């Protein structure tokens, strides 16, 4: 059996039609049907229920499909990894979500560059979700993000849970809570700006799920394009917004920040890498993270998630 047979079979399942699969694979329909038949003969099992429209798999076909997808994914990853290892240029491509630029990411990358002058570092902005696909495709080697996403071929390390703060205009009526902090249940009537607008899922989705987890429904949640816009509108007295603690360094005028007392109000920062990646840049970047955290007196988690 060759990999191409698995690819043919998976394409037929995904297209739910021999004709469409043949089109996609750029081969004629009769040879594709013959290859599927040969595969069934070789396996000694029936993969598709005869005469079903649209095409329906047998139970054994379903089992074989799931494993075929895994084999093809692993092969693609092994190929991109081998190409990376073979690459003459020592480039490490780092995907990041933009809000981490206000956090410790710049320090970590700077330290990494200092310690590894022969390595070329490329920073590429990607939403956490897109980082997973970019890692699998070999477009990036490390991904720093904020969301909990699960993928069997990606290993994720939780680095820290960053607290969220409420940004308000310094003269806002909630300013009386600057010292004491407040609970999210106290802001449900306020106009709350959330960001970014796209791509989903993102920080806006994470904030929305914190409210949902607490059984709360904010009355006026307004999506804006990005954090600067949200903070600019807050600074104009239009409403309030939740930000990761480190984003308070953005320093827009006339803003004040209120601690949020709900324990759920945090944003998890994580590092994603390919499961099988044994490259030397991984322990090297972890060392830099560890040293920057130590310098900043921040507890480092390093838990697999
Ligand atoms: C942080 O701000 O905690 C952080 C940012 C990027 C990578 C690791 C940690």
pTM for the whole structure: 0.72
Calpha distance 273→265 (Å, rounded): 26
Given this model, what pLDDT does residue 79 score? 84
Given this model, what pLDDT does residue 295 score? 95
Whole-number mean pLDDT of the chain?
A: 93
- 98 pLDDT band, cuts 50/70/90, is confident
225-260 pLDDT per residue, tens: 999 999 999 999 999 999 999 999 888 999 999 999
29-60 pLDDT per residue, tens: 999 999 999 999 999 999 999 887 788 999 99
Bridge partners, residue 257, by sequence:
167
Which residue carries 């980082």 as its tokens?
131
**163-266: same fold as 3-88?**
no
Q: Report residue 174: phi and psi, to 5°.
A: -80, 0
Tell whether the model's pLDDT for residue 91 goes beyond 70. yes
Q: How far is the CA of 258 from the centre of ligand 1 (A)?
A: 21
Please check whether residue 275 is in contact with residue 154, taking contact to mean a CB–CB distance below 8 angstroms.
yes
- 135 pLDDT band, cuts 50/70/90, is very high
| DSSP annotation of 13 | H
178-230 pLDDT per residue, tens: 999 999 999 999 999 999 998 888 899 999 999 999 999 999 999 999 999 99
The whole-number average pLDDT for the span 154-174 is 96
- 87 pLDDT band, cuts 50/70/90, is low
Calpha distance 157→303 (Å, rounded): 5
Given this model, what pLDDT does residue 296 score? 93
Q: How far is the CA of 164 from the centre of ligand 1 (A)?
A: 14
Q: How far is the CA of 197 from the centre of ligand 1 (A)?
A: 22
286 lines ligand 1 (CB under 6 A): no
Ranges 23-37, 73-87, 253-267: which has the least confidence: 73-87
- 111 pLDDT band, cuts 50/70/90, is very high
Tell whether the model's pLDDT for residue 88 goes beyond 60. no
204 lines ligand 1 (CB under 6 A): no
Q: How far is the CA of 37 from the centre of ligand 1 (A)?
A: 53
Calpha distance 266→244 (Å, rounded): 8
Q: How far is the CA of 255 from the centre of ligand 1 (A)?
A: 23
268 lines ligand 1 (CB under 6 A): no
Q: Report residue 140: phi and psi, to 5°.
A: -135, 165
159 lines ligand 1 (CB under 6 A): yes
Q: How far is the CA of 170 from the centre of ligand 1 (A)?
A: 28
CATH topology of domain 163-266: D-Maltodextrin-Binding Protein; domain 2 (3.40.190)
CATH 1.10.10.10 is held by the domain 3-88: yes
105 lines ligand 1 (CB under 6 A): yes
As to burial, measured by CB atoms within 10 angstroms (0-12 exposed, 13-18 middle, 19+ buried), residue 114 is exposed
Please check whether residue 202 is in contact with residue 134, taking contact to mean a CB–CB distance below 8 angstroms.
no
Given this model, what pLDDT does residue 89 score? 62
142 lines ligand 1 (CB under 6 A): no
CATH topology of domain 91-159+268-304: D-Maltodextrin-Binding Protein; domain 2 (3.40.190)
103 lines ligand 1 (CB under 6 A): yes
Given this model, what pLDDT does residue 201 score? 86
Tell whether the model's pLDDT for residue 159 goes beyond 90. yes
Q: Where are the domains of the chain?
A: 3-88, 91-159+268-304, 163-266
Please check whether residue 140 is in contact with residue 131, taking contact to mean a CB–CB distance below 8 angstroms.
yes
Calpha distance 243→230 (Å, rounded): 9
97 lines ligand 1 (CB under 6 A): no
């Amino acid at each position: 059996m060759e990999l191409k047979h698995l690819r043919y079979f998976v394409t037929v399942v995904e297209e739910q039609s021999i004709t469409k699969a043949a089109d996609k694979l750029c081969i004629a329909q009769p040879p594709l049907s013959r290859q599927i038949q040969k595969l069934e003969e070789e396996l000694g099992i029936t993969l598709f229920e005869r005469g079903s429209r649209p095409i329906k798999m047998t139970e054994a076909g379903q089992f074989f499909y799931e494993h075929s997808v895994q084999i093809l994914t692993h092969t693609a990853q092994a190929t991109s990894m081998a190409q990376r290892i073979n690459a003459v240029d020592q480039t490490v491509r780092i995907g990041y979500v933009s809000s981490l630029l206000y956090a410790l990411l710049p320090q970590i990358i700077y330290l990494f560059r200092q310690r590894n002058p022969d390595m070329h570092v490329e920073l590429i902005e990607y939403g956490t979700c897109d980082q997973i696909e970019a890692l699998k495709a070999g477009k990036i080697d490390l991904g720093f993000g904020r969301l909990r996403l699960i993928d069997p071929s990606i290993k994720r390390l939780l680095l820290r849970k960053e607290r969220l703060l409420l940004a308000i205009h310094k003269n806002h009526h909630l300013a009386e809570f600057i010292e004491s902090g407040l609970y999210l249940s106290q802001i449900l009537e306020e106009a709350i700006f959330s960001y970014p607008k796209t791509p989903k899922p993102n920080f806006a989705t994470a904030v929305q799920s914190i409210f949902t987890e607490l059984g709360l429904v904010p009355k006026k949640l307004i999506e804006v394009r990005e954090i600067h816009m949200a903070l600019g509108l807050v600074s104009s007295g239009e409403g309030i917004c939740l930000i990761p603690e480190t984003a308070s360094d953005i320093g827009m005028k006339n803003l004040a920040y209120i601690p949020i007392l709900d324990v759920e109000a945090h944003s998890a920062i994580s590092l994603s890498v390919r499961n099988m990646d044994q490259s030397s840049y991984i322990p090297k970047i972890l060392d830099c993270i560890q040293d920057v955290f130590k310098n900043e007196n921040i507890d480092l988690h390093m838990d697999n998630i």
